[in-house]
C-alpha cells in the first residue's frame, strides 16, 4: 500500500508549481489505490482511486497520519477487523427525529433537513457521523437551496442542523460540533435583512374570503378573526382521538373551545399560550362541521389555501391573516399587552414587528411632539403664537 502526500495549493500560492512543497501551508491530501473492492473505512467509501484530505497542513503530521492509514488499510485488505468508532449519519438523524417526536417537538423542518443531509452525505461518499468535519459542514450549508439576503430561510433551517449536531455531542456520538460558533467566528454568521411585515389589505382579505368556499372559507375566516397561524387553526375542533390519529406529538396543545366562542391553546411554533374569542356566528358554523373541523394534514390545507389565493389574484401567504388581524387590532388602539395575550406572542416581539401599526405609540409620539412645541413657545401645531395687542 503506497500513500502519496501532496498539496492542493491555493490560487495565490507562490509554490503552486510544486505539489510536494513541504512548508507552503496549503492543505495536504492523500492519494492511494485500493484494489480490494468497494468498502468503507472511517466513514468514507474506498474506491479504486482515492483522494482524501489529510485534515492538516503540517507535512510531518500528514506523514504520521499516512503511516497510520496505511497500517489500517493493510489490515483491512488482509481481512482483519479494523476498529471504526461512531454511528452513521443516517442512523444518528433517525434517532434524533425519534427523540424529538417523543419529546413533543415538531419534526417538519427537522425531517426536511435530515433528508437533505443524508442525501448530501450519500452524494459525497460520507458514511460515519465523525467524517463530517467543519469544512464539509460548511460545504453542505453552501449546497442548500434556501434564499439569503432578504430572507431568513437559510438561517432558520441551518439552526435546525446546528441543533442536530449539538444533540449528537450530547449523545456522545461526536466530541465537538463541526459547525463553527458564529460569535467566535463571525465570518460564518448568516446575514440577511429582515423584511418589514406588510400585512395584506382589507380589500385583499375580503377578496380571498369571497373566493374561498366550504371548509376552506371557514378556515380563512377563523384565521382572519383569531389571528391564529395555519398550523394552529387547522387543528381547531380536534378531539384527543383526532389529534392522535393525525399524528400530533402533543395532542393536548390543540385549540380547546370553551363556551362556544372562547379558544385557548398553545402555539405549535413557540408553545406560548393564547386566548382569543371568535364571533358566535363563526363558532356555530365551525361546530356544524363536526370533529375534526379540518381533517387532513397541514400541508394539504396549505396547498388548498394557495390555490384560493391564486384564484383570487391575491399575492399573500396563510400567515397574512395573522399579520392582518394583529395590525388591525393595534391600529384600532387595542393595547399591545392585550394583543399579546390574544395571539401568544410577547409584547416585545409585537412592538418590534408591528411598531408602525401601533396606534397608542403613534398617539404618544404626537403628544410628545405637541408638548415639545409648547415648551418652545409655539402653539400645539408648531406655529408661532399670534401676538395679542392691547
Sign for the CA dihedral angle at 8, 12, 14, 16 comes to: positive
User: Looking at the predicted structure, is the pLDDT value of residue 241 above 80?
Assistant: no
Which tens digit of pLDDT belongs to each residue from 72-110?
A: 899 888 887 665 556 889 999 999 999 998 887 778 889
Pick the closest to residue 342 from 281, 255, 280, 259 (CA basis).
255
Q: Which of 242, 210, 237 is nearest to 224 (CA)?
A: 210
- Over the chain, what is the mean pLDDT? 87
Question: Which residue, among 323, 333, 355, 342, has the nearest Cα to 202 in the 3D structure?
Answer: 323
pLDDT digits (tens, 9 = 90+) for 294-322: 988 888 999 999 999 999 999 999 999 99
More confident residue, 166 or 363: 166
Q: Is 193 helix (H, G, I), strand (E, B) or coil?
A: coil
Q: What pTM does this model have? A: 0.56
329 closest CA partner among 315, 343, 316:
343
Residue 251 has pLDDT above 60, yes or no: no
Residue of 233, 224, 231 whose CA lies nearest to 289: 233
What is the C-alpha to C-alpha distance for residues 48 and 148, in angstroms, rounded to an integer?
Answer: 39
Cα–Cα distance list, 72 to 85, 91, 114, 352 (Å): 14, 25, 31, 58
All domains of the chain, ordered by start, with CATH? 4-77 (no CATH), 89-188 (1.10.150.130), 202-357 (1.10.443.10), 360-390 (no CATH)
- Nearest alpha-carbon partner for 215 in 118, 99, 294: 294
What Cα–Cα distance (Å) separates residue 190 from each residue in 138, 162, 180, 181, 196? Answer: 12, 13, 12, 11, 18
Beta pairing partners, 193: none
In the three-class reduction of DSSP (H, G, I as helix; E, B as strand; rest coil), residue 39 is classed as strand
Between 108-123 and 134-143, two packed helices, what is the crossing angle to 10 degrees?
110
In this predicted model, what pLDDT tens digit does every residue of 182-237 receive, in sequence order?
889 899 998 877 777 889 999 999 999 999 999 999 999 999 999 999 999 998 87
**Residues with Cβ < 8 Å from 367, sequence gap 6 or more?**
none
Distance of CA 282 to the CA centre of its chain: 33
DSSP 276: E
Amino acid at each position: 500500500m503506497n500513500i502519496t502526500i501532496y498539496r492542493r495549493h491555493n490560487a495565490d500560492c507562490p509554490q503552486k508549481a510544486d505539489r510536494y512543497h513541504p512548508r507552503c501551508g496549503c492543505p495536504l491530501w492523500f492519494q492511494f489505490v485500493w484494489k480490494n473492492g468497494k468498502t468503507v473505512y472511517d466513514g468514507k467509501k474506498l474506491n479504486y482511486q482515492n483522494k482524501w484530505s489529510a485534515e492538516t497542513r503540517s507535512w510531518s503530521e500528514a506523514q504520521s497520519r499516512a503511516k497510520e492509514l496505511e497500517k489500517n488499510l493493510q489490515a483491512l485488505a488482509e481481512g482483519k477487523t479494523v476498529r471504526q468508532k461512531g454511528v452513521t449519519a443516517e442512523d444518528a438523524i433517525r434517532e434524533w427525529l425519534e427523540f424529538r417526536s417523543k419529546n413533543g417537538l415538531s419534526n417538519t423542518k427537522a425531517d426536511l433537513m435530515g433528508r437533505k443531509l443524508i442525501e448530501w452525505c450519500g452524494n459525497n461518499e460520507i458514511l460515519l457521523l465523525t467524517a463530517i468535519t467543519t469544512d464539509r459542514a460548511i460545504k453542505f450549508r453552501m449546497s442548500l437551496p434556501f434564499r439569503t439576503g432578504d430572507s431568513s430561510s437559510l438561517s432558520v433551517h441551518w439552526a435546525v442542523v446546528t441543533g442536530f449536531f449539538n444533540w449528537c455531542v450530547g449523545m456522545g456520538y461526536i466530541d465537538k460540533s463541526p459547525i463553527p460558533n458564529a460569535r467566535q467566528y463571525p465570518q460564518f454568521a448568516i446575514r440577511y435583512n429582515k423584511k418589514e411585515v406588510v400585512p395584506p389589505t382589507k380589500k385583499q382579505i375580503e377578496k380571498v374570503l369571497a373566493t374561498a368556499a366550504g371548509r376552506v372559507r371557514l378556515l380563512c375566516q377563523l384565521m382572519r378573526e383569531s389571528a391564529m397561524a395555519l398550523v394552529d387553526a387547522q387543528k381547531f375542533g380536534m378531539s384527543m382521538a383526532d389529534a392522535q390519529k393525525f399524528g400530533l406529538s402533543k395532542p393536548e396543545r390543540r385549540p380547546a373551545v370553551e363556551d362556544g366562542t372562547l379558544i385557548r391553546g398553545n402555539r405549535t411554533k413557540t408553545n406560548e399560550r393564547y386566548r382569543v374569542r371568535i364571533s358566535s356566528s363563526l363558532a356555530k358554523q365551525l361546530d356544524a362541521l363536526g370533529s375534526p373541523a379540518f381533517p387532513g394534514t397541514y400541508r394539504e390545507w396549505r396547498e388548498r389555501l394557495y390555490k384560493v389565493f391564486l384564484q383570487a389574484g391575491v399575492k399573500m401567504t396563510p400567515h397574512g391573516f395573522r399579520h392582518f388581524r394583529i395590525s388591525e387590532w393595534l391600529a384600532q388602539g387595542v393595547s399591545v399587552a392585550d394583543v399579546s395575550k390574544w395571539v401568544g406572542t410577547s409584547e416585545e416581539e409585537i412592538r418590534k414587528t408591528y411598531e408602525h401599526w401601533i396606534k397608542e405609540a403613534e398617539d404618544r409620539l404626537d403628544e410628545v411632539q405637541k408638548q415639545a412645541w409648547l415648551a418652545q413657545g409655539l402653539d400645539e401645531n408648531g406655529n408661532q403664537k399670534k401676538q395679542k395687542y392691547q
